[in-house]
Structure 1
């Protein structure tokens, strides 16, 4: 006899999937015939051992489902908090300000990926593609892989503009997807190597006594900011925004003490979400390794 749960575990393993792929016929569109599956051979322990394995894997799957549910609930809770906070209805003194009133902007360079490397250099450069795909809402340059500028580019005396500092914000000014246009990161650690804002980025710096550290990342991912960015984005296949266009965006802004309280609370929530994401990734890796080791 054979346990159905054990069979499922085998076919979800790397070995099981490879065997099914080997038996499949066709080109791009693979077909698997019942007669081929019947000839498939795989390791089969005793039924009690199968049941033990199936019980353990069921428990692992339950843990995965629980973590995914936690992430779903935490994400929904954060979205709700963000919506309430940035509606301007929170307790405290709020004012409506334009982006231009709280941020100053600098020119950025246009160095391409071909002019950057990940091995060595005296200066680092932020490419907009990394804002889209790699950076979180808080950028810690000491812990994040950021490319160096090639030495020959530096030797030619290219203009590098203003260095990036703690508290600065960097926005991607181009994207094919309206949900990604204007995606931003706030620098919480600029690292030890001079850092510059590069191709298709907008480099902003909070004006004195306007924005608490940690609040910019919240402000620039708020539903109100995202909605207004989507309205000003221009282009057909590739959408674009500029510092001039975002300067006119208006948003509710609380006092500095209130900003700090909000930033602290939401940063703790982000940390909780990140912890659950790491736990989920760990359990998924554990299950993959378990299945791989079981059916070698």
Structure 2
């Protein structure tokens, strides 16, 4: 079905990084830079690190994310990253809004299960359609209107659940393996430092 028929879209803010603060605040803000590089496909609002809006920069009106809402990055220098999407989960006790260069979508008709949309919008079939319509020279962009031309497959909810569970498990395995790799890199670096330091390096500094 058309993405525009599946999702309802909500206004977003245009706050810059200077208007955000990782340490203090009440409402968190999803900047498009985090979608490109920073957060996973399934954003766990309770765990993933998002900045707050500074009190003096608080927008007058906004729409908070609900469980299963999605956000797309509407611009990128690479056509492969235009419309890169995330899905928000575990946000019942969190206040999060969609920020600069994002498109905030919600399946109000509940035709999808939690976890399915994020992966469906990460599929190659979806992005092939986006690349065809993305506009720009140095920076490629889309708008919510472009979703009238983009389609997504909607299997039964039972099938969606199976797909989401499988891909979530794989993502968790990838995250675990990446942490193991980073820990091994640190261990290797420490061992090399001990093994290959020169006698001069071992002398106490005066």
Please give the TM-score of this superposition, normalised by the length of structure 1. Answer: 0.64
2:202 matched residue in structure 1:
none
Structure 1 unmatched runs, 5+: 1-96
Aligned length: 197
1:115 matched residue in structure 2:
19
Query: Larger radius of gyration, structure 1 or 2?
Result: 1
The C-alpha deviation readout for 1:67-96, integer Å capped at 9, x for no partner, is xxxxxxxxxxxxxxxxxxxxxxxxxxxxxx
SS in 1 for 2:87: strand
CA 174–137 in structure 1, closer or farther in 2 if over 3 Å, else same: same
Provide runs of 4+ in structure 1 moved above 3 Å.
none
Q: Which has the higher helix share?
A: 1
Residue 6 of structure 2 is aligned to residue 102 of structure 1: yes
Q: Is the 8 A contact 1:137 1:184 kept in 2?
A: yes
CA 191–142 in structure 1, closer or farther in 2 if over 3 Å, else same: farther
1:151 matched residue in structure 2:
55
1:81 matched residue in structure 2:
none
| In 2, Cα distance between equivalents of 1:160 and 1:200 | 17
2:62 matched residue in structure 1:
161
| In 2, Cα distance between equivalents of 1:149 and 1:241 | 25
| In 1, Cα distance between equivalents of 2:176 and 2:19 | 36
Q: Is the 8 A contact 1:126 1:198 kept in 2?
A: yes
Q: Is the 8 A contact 1:160 1:196 kept in 2?
A: no
1:229 matched residue in structure 2:
130
2:203 matched residue in structure 1:
none
Match of 1:185 among 81, 86, 94: 86
SS in 2 for 1:285: helix
Coordinate RMSD, CA, aligned: 1.4
Residue 170 of structure 2 is aligned to residue 269 of structure 1: yes
Shift, 1:185, TM fit: 0.7
Residue 179 of structure 2 is aligned to residue 278 of structure 1: yes
| In 1, Cα distance between equivalents of 2:185 and 2:167 | 27
| In 2, Cα distance between equivalents of 1:290 and 1:115 | 42
| In 1, Cα distance between equivalents of 2:61 and 2:152 | 31
Q: Which moved more, 1:110-119 or 1:272-281?
A: 272-281
Structure 2 unmatched runs, 5+: 198-206
Q: Which moved more, 1:261-270 or 1:224-233?
A: 261-270
Please give the TM-score of this superposition, normalised by the length of structure 2. Answer: 0.90
